[in-house]
Amino acid sequence: MMTDSIRSLVHRQIFFAKNRAMLFAPRNQYALEIDDKLEPPMFRITDTHYAATWLLDPRAPKVEMPEELRVRIERMKKEAEEYED
């Protein structure tokens, strides 16, 4: 026999397993309204990289890359070039 607390935990796990996008939307400043309703499909970035985010949907609003991320990517590209030399 399941206790109420275990039953509640199981129901929450089932709900969030079906609605994983909802877990992250509240913490994501770029979350879209659809994030609360549907899990995003996988979008192809390259032949070896895919991402599940509604921001890659052609209908999504365009957002600017945060400066901190742009700087980090540039630094990593430079480090990769130095490593290859």
Q: Is the pLDDT at 24 greater than 80, yes or no?
A: no
Would you say 18 and 38 are in contact if contact means Cβ atoms under 8 Å apart? no
Q: From CA 64, how far away is CA 59, in angstroms rounded?
A: 16
Which one has a higher pLDDT value, 17 or 52?
A: 52
Cβ neighbours for 53, distance < 8 A, ≥ 6 positions apart: 40, 43
Give me the mean pLDDT over the 53-79 stretch: 93
Would you say 32 and 55 are in contact if contact means Cβ atoms under 8 Å apart? yes
Q: What is the pLDDT of residue 83?
A: 85
Residue percentage of the chain with pLDDT more than 90? 41
Q: Is the pLDDT at 74 greater than 70, yes or no?
A: yes
Q: What is the pLDDT of residues 30-48, one digit of tens each?
A: 888 888 788 889 999 999 9
